[in-house]
Structure 1
Amino acid sequence: MTTTTIAATTVRLRALVAEIREAVDRGLPPGPTAQLVADLLTPHLGAPDLLLPEHHEGDPDRYRQHVLHAEPDGGFSLVALVWLPGQITPIHDHVAWGVTGVHQGAEYERRYRLVPDGPSARLVATEDVITRQGEASAFAPPGDIHRVHNGGTGTAVSVHVYGADITRLGTSVRRLYRLPADA
Protein backbone atom coordinates (compact mmCIF):
# COMPACT_ATOMS: atom_id res chain seq x y z
CA MET A 1 0.00 0.00 0.00
CA THR A 2 1.33 3.43 -0.87
CA THR A 3 0.27 6.60 0.86
CA THR A 4 0.16 10.02 -0.72
CA THR A 5 0.07 13.35 1.07
CA ILE A 6 -3.33 14.76 1.99
CA ALA A 7 -5.08 15.31 -1.30
CA ALA A 8 -6.76 18.32 -2.81
CA THR A 9 -10.45 18.32 -2.16
CA THR A 10 -13.86 19.04 -3.67
CA VAL A 11 -16.82 21.07 -2.43
CA ARG A 12 -18.80 17.85 -1.88
CA LEU A 13 -15.94 16.25 0.06
CA ARG A 14 -15.61 19.33 2.30
CA ALA A 15 -19.36 19.17 3.00
CA LEU A 16 -19.06 15.45 3.84
CA VAL A 17 -16.17 16.16 6.22
CA ALA A 18 -18.31 18.77 8.02
CA GLU A 19 -21.18 16.26 8.34
CA ILE A 20 -18.83 13.59 9.70
CA ARG A 21 -17.31 16.08 12.15
CA GLU A 22 -20.76 16.84 13.57
CA ALA A 23 -21.51 13.12 13.94
CA VAL A 24 -18.19 12.33 15.62
CA ASP A 25 -18.51 15.32 17.95
CA ARG A 26 -21.73 13.81 19.35
CA GLY A 27 -19.49 11.53 21.44
CA LEU A 28 -21.44 8.31 20.84
CA PRO A 29 -19.82 4.90 21.36
CA PRO A 30 -17.80 3.50 18.42
CA GLY A 31 -20.50 1.24 16.93
CA PRO A 32 -23.25 3.87 16.72
CA THR A 33 -20.74 6.49 15.53
CA ALA A 34 -19.62 4.22 12.69
CA GLN A 35 -23.21 3.51 11.65
CA LEU A 36 -24.09 7.21 11.71
CA VAL A 37 -21.06 8.01 9.55
CA ALA A 38 -21.97 5.19 7.12
CA ASP A 39 -25.43 6.71 6.75
CA LEU A 40 -23.86 10.11 6.03
CA LEU A 41 -21.38 8.70 3.49
CA THR A 42 -23.87 6.64 1.46
CA PRO A 43 -25.62 9.50 -0.44
CA HIS A 44 -22.25 10.79 -1.67
CA LEU A 45 -21.00 7.49 -3.10
CA GLY A 46 -20.83 7.44 -6.89
CA ALA A 47 -21.28 11.21 -7.17
CA PRO A 48 -18.91 12.46 -9.88
CA ASP A 49 -17.97 15.52 -7.82
CA LEU A 50 -16.91 13.65 -4.65
CA LEU A 51 -13.35 12.77 -5.70
CA LEU A 52 -10.86 14.38 -8.03
CA PRO A 53 -9.41 12.43 -10.99
CA GLU A 54 -6.13 11.81 -9.13
CA HIS A 55 -8.08 10.01 -6.38
CA HIS A 56 -8.91 7.32 -8.96
CA GLU A 57 -5.25 6.54 -9.77
CA GLY A 58 -4.19 3.02 -8.90
CA ASP A 59 -0.85 1.25 -8.50
CA PRO A 60 -0.12 -1.87 -10.57
CA ASP A 61 1.65 -3.57 -7.63
CA ARG A 62 -0.89 -3.14 -4.79
CA TYR A 63 -4.03 -1.27 -3.83
CA ARG A 64 -3.36 2.43 -3.42
CA GLN A 65 -4.40 4.78 -0.65
CA HIS A 66 -5.08 8.49 -1.17
CA VAL A 67 -5.48 10.42 2.09
CA LEU A 68 -8.41 12.81 1.62
CA HIS A 69 -8.68 14.36 5.08
CA ALA A 70 -7.27 14.03 8.59
CA GLU A 71 -9.05 15.87 11.37
CA PRO A 72 -6.60 18.13 13.26
CA ASP A 73 -7.63 16.68 16.64
CA GLY A 74 -7.11 13.10 15.41
CA GLY A 75 -10.82 12.27 15.67
CA PHE A 76 -11.17 10.79 12.18
CA SER A 77 -9.64 10.55 8.73
CA LEU A 78 -10.87 9.80 5.22
CA VAL A 79 -9.05 7.91 2.50
CA ALA A 80 -9.84 6.72 -1.00
CA LEU A 81 -8.57 3.23 -1.79
CA VAL A 82 -8.07 2.28 -5.42
CA TRP A 83 -8.12 -1.42 -6.22
CA LEU A 84 -7.07 -2.83 -9.56
CA PRO A 85 -8.49 -6.27 -10.44
CA GLY A 86 -7.15 -9.00 -8.14
CA GLN A 87 -5.56 -6.71 -5.55
CA ILE A 88 -6.06 -7.95 -1.99
CA THR A 89 -5.28 -7.11 1.62
CA PRO A 90 -3.83 -9.51 4.15
CA ILE A 91 -6.21 -10.67 6.87
CA HIS A 92 -6.33 -7.83 9.41
CA ASP A 93 -8.34 -5.85 11.94
CA HIS A 94 -8.37 -2.13 12.78
CA VAL A 95 -7.23 0.36 15.40
CA ALA A 96 -10.59 2.17 15.55
CA TRP A 97 -14.16 2.18 14.28
CA GLY A 98 -14.50 2.55 10.54
CA VAL A 99 -16.74 2.83 7.53
CA THR A 100 -16.22 1.50 4.03
CA GLY A 101 -18.25 2.90 1.13
CA VAL A 102 -17.86 1.82 -2.47
CA HIS A 103 -17.64 4.74 -4.86
CA GLN A 104 -16.95 2.71 -8.02
CA GLY A 105 -17.01 -1.03 -8.74
CA ALA A 106 -17.28 -3.49 -5.86
CA GLU A 107 -15.26 -4.75 -2.90
CA TYR A 108 -15.26 -8.42 -1.98
CA GLU A 109 -14.77 -9.17 1.69
CA ARG A 110 -14.34 -12.31 3.75
CA ARG A 111 -15.00 -11.84 7.47
CA TYR A 112 -13.44 -14.02 10.15
CA ARG A 113 -13.88 -14.96 13.77
CA LEU A 114 -10.91 -15.77 15.99
CA VAL A 115 -11.47 -19.08 17.80
CA PRO A 116 -9.33 -20.94 20.32
CA ASP A 117 -7.74 -24.12 18.99
CA GLY A 118 -6.00 -25.82 21.89
CA PRO A 119 -3.05 -23.72 23.04
CA SER A 120 -3.26 -21.48 19.95
CA ALA A 121 -6.01 -19.99 17.80
CA ARG A 122 -7.29 -20.07 14.24
CA LEU A 123 -9.56 -17.99 12.04
CA VAL A 124 -12.94 -19.26 10.90
CA ALA A 125 -14.65 -17.58 7.96
CA THR A 126 -18.05 -16.31 9.02
CA GLU A 127 -19.34 -14.42 6.01
CA ASP A 128 -18.54 -13.37 2.45
CA VAL A 129 -19.83 -9.92 1.54
CA ILE A 130 -19.86 -7.98 -1.71
CA THR A 131 -20.23 -4.23 -1.28
CA ARG A 132 -21.27 -2.52 -4.50
CA GLN A 133 -21.22 1.07 -5.66
CA GLY A 134 -23.42 3.21 -3.44
CA GLU A 135 -23.28 0.86 -0.46
CA ALA A 136 -21.49 1.41 2.85
CA SER A 137 -20.80 -0.75 5.88
CA ALA A 138 -19.70 0.13 9.40
CA PHE A 139 -17.46 -1.76 11.82
CA ALA A 140 -16.06 -1.32 15.29
CA PRO A 141 -13.41 -3.42 17.03
CA PRO A 142 -13.22 -5.98 18.41
CA GLY A 143 -14.39 -8.60 15.95
CA ASP A 144 -13.64 -6.71 12.74
CA ILE A 145 -11.22 -9.26 11.26
CA HIS A 146 -11.39 -9.47 7.46
CA ARG A 147 -9.66 -9.67 4.10
CA VAL A 148 -10.74 -7.40 1.23
CA HIS A 149 -10.09 -7.64 -2.49
CA ASN A 150 -11.22 -6.51 -5.91
CA GLY A 151 -12.72 -9.62 -7.47
CA GLY A 152 -14.09 -7.73 -10.47
CA THR A 153 -12.65 -7.00 -13.88
CA GLY A 154 -12.45 -3.20 -13.50
CA THR A 155 -11.01 -0.71 -11.07
CA ALA A 156 -12.77 -0.36 -7.73
CA VAL A 157 -12.63 2.82 -5.66
CA SER A 158 -13.78 2.95 -2.06
CA VAL A 159 -13.98 5.72 0.51
CA HIS A 160 -12.97 4.77 4.05
CA VAL A 161 -13.54 6.76 7.21
CA TYR A 162 -11.54 5.74 10.27
CA GLY A 163 -12.05 6.94 13.84
CA ALA A 164 -8.37 7.82 14.12
CA ASP A 165 -5.82 9.95 12.30
CA ILE A 166 -4.07 7.46 10.05
CA THR A 167 -1.59 10.11 8.93
CA ARG A 168 -0.20 10.03 12.49
CA LEU A 169 -0.51 6.27 12.91
CA GLY A 170 0.65 5.37 9.39
CA THR A 171 -2.15 2.82 8.94
CA SER A 172 -5.67 1.85 10.02
CA VAL A 173 -4.52 -1.72 10.65
CA ARG A 174 -4.11 -2.88 14.23
CA ARG A 175 -2.93 -6.41 13.52
CA LEU A 176 -2.13 -8.69 10.58
CA TYR A 177 -3.24 -12.28 11.17
CA ARG A 178 -0.93 -15.09 10.10
CA LEU A 179 -2.94 -17.80 11.85
CA PRO A 180 -4.45 -20.76 10.04
CA ALA A 181 -7.61 -19.52 8.29
CA ASP A 182 -10.43 -20.95 6.25
CA ALA A 183 -9.68 -20.65 2.54
Structure 2
Amino acid sequence: MTTTIIATPALAGVTGAVRTALRSRPDWAAAAELVADALRGRLPGPEVLTPEQRLGDPDGPVGHLLHAEPDGSFSVTAVIWRPGQTTRIHDHVTWCVVGVLQGVEHEERFDADLRPIGAGDNRVGEVTGFAPPGDIHLIRNTGAETAISLHVYGTDLSRVGSSARRYYESADAEGRR
Protein backbone atom coordinates (compact mmCIF):
# COMPACT_ATOMS: atom_id res chain seq x y z
CA MET A 1 0.00 0.00 0.00
CA THR A 2 1.33 3.41 -0.85
CA THR A 3 1.02 6.30 1.57
CA THR A 4 -0.33 9.47 0.08
CA ILE A 5 -1.95 11.91 2.44
CA ILE A 6 -4.33 13.97 0.33
CA ALA A 7 -6.01 16.95 1.98
CA THR A 8 -9.03 17.75 -0.16
CA PRO A 9 -12.39 19.19 0.85
CA ALA A 10 -14.05 15.89 -0.14
CA LEU A 11 -11.72 13.90 2.08
CA ALA A 12 -12.16 16.44 4.91
CA GLY A 13 -15.89 15.75 4.72
CA VAL A 14 -15.24 12.03 5.07
CA THR A 15 -12.83 12.36 7.98
CA GLY A 16 -15.10 14.83 9.76
CA ALA A 17 -18.08 12.49 9.41
CA VAL A 18 -16.03 9.57 10.75
CA ARG A 19 -14.81 11.60 13.75
CA THR A 20 -18.39 12.57 14.57
CA ALA A 21 -19.61 8.97 14.26
CA LEU A 22 -16.87 7.71 16.58
CA ARG A 23 -17.29 10.44 19.18
CA SER A 24 -19.27 8.15 21.51
CA ARG A 25 -16.48 5.51 21.40
CA PRO A 26 -18.77 2.68 20.21
CA ASP A 27 -17.83 -0.99 20.14
CA TRP A 28 -16.64 -2.37 16.80
CA ALA A 29 -20.01 -3.49 15.46
CA ALA A 30 -21.63 -0.17 16.37
CA ALA A 31 -18.66 1.76 14.95
CA ALA A 32 -19.05 0.03 11.57
CA GLU A 33 -22.76 0.80 11.53
CA LEU A 34 -22.36 4.44 12.65
CA VAL A 35 -19.55 5.17 10.19
CA ALA A 36 -21.42 3.51 7.31
CA ASP A 37 -24.50 5.60 8.11
CA ALA A 38 -22.36 8.76 8.32
CA LEU A 39 -20.76 8.15 4.92
CA ARG A 40 -23.93 7.39 2.97
CA GLY A 41 -24.45 10.36 0.69
CA ARG A 42 -21.04 11.82 1.64
CA LEU A 43 -18.70 9.76 -0.51
CA PRO A 44 -16.29 11.74 -2.66
CA GLY A 45 -15.81 10.96 -6.33
CA PRO A 46 -12.84 9.08 -7.73
CA GLU A 47 -11.19 12.49 -8.16
CA VAL A 48 -10.07 12.20 -4.53
CA LEU A 49 -7.17 10.33 -6.18
CA THR A 50 -4.74 11.59 -8.78
CA PRO A 51 -5.24 10.37 -12.38
CA GLU A 52 -2.13 8.19 -11.98
CA GLN A 53 -3.45 6.58 -8.79
CA ARG A 54 -6.79 5.82 -10.46
CA LEU A 55 -5.00 3.66 -13.05
CA GLY A 56 -4.35 0.88 -10.53
CA ASP A 57 -1.70 -1.80 -10.91
CA PRO A 58 -1.73 -4.68 -13.42
CA ASP A 59 -0.34 -7.01 -10.73
CA GLY A 60 -3.33 -6.75 -8.37
CA PRO A 61 -5.51 -4.41 -6.34
CA VAL A 62 -3.56 -1.46 -4.97
CA GLY A 63 -4.34 0.67 -1.95
CA HIS A 64 -3.45 4.28 -1.26
CA LEU A 65 -3.49 5.43 2.35
CA LEU A 66 -5.20 8.82 2.24
CA HIS A 67 -5.53 9.59 5.94
CA ALA A 68 -4.42 8.21 9.31
CA GLU A 69 -6.09 9.88 12.29
CA PRO A 70 -3.40 11.20 14.68
CA ASP A 71 -4.89 9.34 17.67
CA GLY A 72 -4.85 6.03 15.72
CA SER A 73 -8.64 5.62 15.82
CA PHE A 74 -9.13 5.24 12.06
CA SER A 75 -7.58 5.34 8.61
CA VAL A 76 -8.97 6.06 5.16
CA THR A 77 -7.66 4.12 2.19
CA ALA A 78 -8.66 4.05 -1.47
CA VAL A 79 -8.36 0.69 -3.25
CA ILE A 80 -8.16 0.44 -7.04
CA TRP A 81 -9.28 -2.80 -8.71
CA ARG A 82 -8.71 -3.39 -12.40
CA PRO A 83 -11.21 -5.69 -14.14
CA GLY A 84 -10.88 -9.27 -12.90
CA GLN A 85 -8.68 -8.44 -9.92
CA THR A 86 -9.55 -10.11 -6.62
CA THR A 87 -8.37 -10.50 -3.06
CA ARG A 88 -7.67 -13.76 -1.32
CA ILE A 89 -10.19 -14.86 1.29
CA HIS A 90 -9.33 -12.89 4.42
CA ASP A 91 -10.57 -11.33 7.62
CA HIS A 92 -9.60 -8.09 9.35
CA VAL A 93 -7.82 -6.69 12.40
CA THR A 94 -10.71 -4.28 13.09
CA TRP A 95 -14.03 -2.94 11.81
CA CYS A 96 -14.25 -1.70 8.25
CA VAL A 97 -16.57 0.44 6.16
CA VAL A 98 -16.40 0.41 2.35
CA GLY A 99 -17.97 2.83 -0.10
CA VAL A 100 -17.78 2.32 -3.86
CA LEU A 101 -16.65 5.39 -5.80
CA GLN A 102 -16.44 3.84 -9.27
CA GLY A 103 -17.36 0.53 -10.87
CA VAL A 104 -18.73 -2.55 -9.16
CA GLU A 105 -17.20 -4.70 -6.44
CA HIS A 106 -18.47 -8.24 -5.99
CA GLU A 107 -18.14 -9.54 -2.44
CA GLU A 108 -18.36 -13.16 -1.31
CA ARG A 109 -18.78 -13.84 2.42
CA PHE A 110 -17.86 -17.03 4.29
CA ASP A 111 -18.47 -18.57 7.70
CA ALA A 112 -15.62 -19.74 9.94
CA ASP A 113 -15.56 -23.10 8.09
CA LEU A 114 -15.22 -21.21 4.76
CA ARG A 115 -18.68 -22.20 3.60
CA PRO A 116 -20.24 -19.49 1.40
CA ILE A 117 -22.90 -17.55 3.32
CA GLY A 118 -23.64 -14.73 0.90
CA ALA A 119 -22.57 -12.73 -2.09
CA GLY A 120 -23.52 -9.47 -3.67
CA ASP A 121 -22.48 -6.59 -5.84
CA ASN A 122 -21.68 -3.20 -4.35
CA ARG A 123 -22.24 -0.35 -6.78
CA VAL A 124 -21.30 3.33 -6.94
CA GLY A 125 -22.56 5.18 -3.88
CA GLU A 126 -23.26 2.07 -1.82
CA VAL A 127 -21.68 1.86 1.62
CA THR A 128 -21.33 -1.31 3.69
CA GLY A 129 -19.67 -2.07 7.01
CA PHE A 130 -18.70 -5.05 9.13
CA ALA A 131 -16.70 -6.00 12.19
CA PRO A 132 -14.95 -9.14 13.38
CA PRO A 133 -16.01 -11.83 13.91
CA GLY A 134 -18.06 -12.52 10.83
CA ASP A 135 -15.87 -10.59 8.41
CA ILE A 136 -14.38 -13.42 6.32
CA HIS A 137 -14.72 -12.46 2.67
CA LEU A 138 -13.12 -11.84 -0.68
CA ILE A 139 -13.71 -8.98 -3.08
CA ARG A 140 -13.51 -9.12 -6.85
CA ASN A 141 -13.97 -6.61 -9.64
CA THR A 142 -16.40 -8.41 -11.94
CA GLY A 143 -17.01 -5.34 -14.09
CA ALA A 144 -15.43 -4.18 -17.33
CA GLU A 145 -14.06 -0.95 -15.84
CA THR A 146 -11.66 -0.16 -13.03
CA ALA A 147 -13.38 -0.10 -9.65
CA ILE A 148 -12.40 2.29 -6.88
CA SER A 149 -13.52 1.99 -3.28
CA LEU A 150 -12.94 4.03 -0.15
CA HIS A 151 -12.18 1.96 2.96
CA VAL A 152 -12.32 3.27 6.52
CA TYR A 153 -10.64 1.01 9.09
CA GLY A 154 -10.74 1.36 12.88
CA THR A 155 -6.96 1.44 13.23
CA ASP A 156 -3.91 3.35 12.05
CA LEU A 157 -2.80 1.53 8.89
CA SER A 158 0.35 3.64 8.72
CA ARG A 159 1.43 1.73 11.84
CA VAL A 160 -0.05 -1.76 11.36
CA GLY A 161 0.56 -1.89 7.60
CA SER A 162 -2.40 -4.02 6.55
CA SER A 163 -6.05 -4.36 7.46
CA ALA A 164 -5.94 -8.12 6.84
CA ARG A 165 -5.57 -10.30 9.91
CA ARG A 166 -5.48 -13.72 8.23
CA TYR A 167 -5.66 -15.22 4.76
CA TYR A 168 -7.56 -18.45 4.18
CA GLU A 169 -7.28 -21.19 1.60
CA SER A 170 -10.43 -22.76 0.24
CA ALA A 171 -10.41 -25.06 -2.76
CA ASP A 172 -14.07 -24.23 -3.42
CA ALA A 173 -13.66 -20.45 -3.28
CA GLU A 174 -10.34 -20.46 -5.10
CA GLY A 175 -11.86 -22.54 -7.89
CA ARG A 176 -14.45 -19.83 -8.63
CA ARG A 177 -11.82 -17.22 -9.51
Instruction: Give the alignment's TM-score, normalised by structure 1.
Output: 0.88
Aligned to 1:38: 36
Distance 2:54 2:39 in 1: 18
Q: Provide the rounded CA distance (Å) in 2 between the counterparts of 1:159 and 1:4.
A: 14
Deviation at 1:7, TM superposition (A): 2.8
- C-alpha separation in 2, matches of 1:49 and 1:10: 10
Per the alignment, residue 16 of structure 1 pairs with 14
Aligned to 2:141: 150
Amino acid at match of 2:115: V
What whole-Å deviation, never above 9, does each CA across 1:13-35 have from its counterpart, x for those lacking one? 11210221121121111111111
Deviations 1:59-91 (A, max 9, x none): 011111010100111100000000000100000
Look up the equivalent residue of 2:18 and give its one-letter code: I
1:98 alignment counterpart? 96
- Say which of 108, 120, 125 aligns to 1:129: 120
Q: Which amino acid aligns with 1:79?
A: T
Residue 33 of structure 2 aligns to a residue in which SS?
A: helix
Hey, what's the Cα distance between the residues in 2 that align with 1:99 and 1:160? 6
Question: CA contact under 8 A between 2:89 and 2:167: conserved in structure 1?
Answer: yes
Contact 1:110 1:125 survives alignment (8 Å) = yes
Aligned to 2:166: 175
More displaced 10-residue stretch of structure 1: 75-84 or 9-18: 9-18
Q: Give the number of aligned pairs.
A: 174
CA contact under 8 A between 2:11 and 2:44: conserved in structure 1? no
The structure having more radius of gyration, on CA atoms, is 1
Instruction: Provide the alpha-carbon RMSD of the alignment.
Output: 1.6
Aligned counterparts of 1:11 and 1:46: Cα–Cα separation in 2: 9
Structural mapping, 1:56-95, within 5 Å: 56-95=54-93
| CA displacement at 1:92 relative to structure 2 | 0.2
Deviations 1:134-176 (A, max 9, x none): 0010100001000101011100000000001111111000100
Structure 1 stretches lacking a partner, 5+ long: 116-122
1:87-134 residue CA offsets vs partner (Å, 9 max, x unmatched): 00000000000001100001001100013xxxxxxx100111100000
Query: SS in structure 2 opposite 1:43?
Result: coil
Give identity over the alignment, percent.
45
Q: Secondary structure at the match of 1:44?
A: coil
8 A Cα contact 2:46 2:148, kept in partner: no
Q: Does 1:166 align with 2:157?
A: yes
- What corresponds to 2:111 in structure 1? 113
TM-superposed deviation, 1:41:
1.8
- The separation in 2 between residues aligned to 1:78 and 1:130, in whole angstroms, is 22
Normalising by the residue count of structure 2, what TM-score does the alignment of the two structures yield?
Answer: 0.91
Separation of aligned partners in 2, 1:22 and 1:51: 24
Q: Which amino acid aligns with 1:174?
A: R
Residue equivalent to 1:118: none
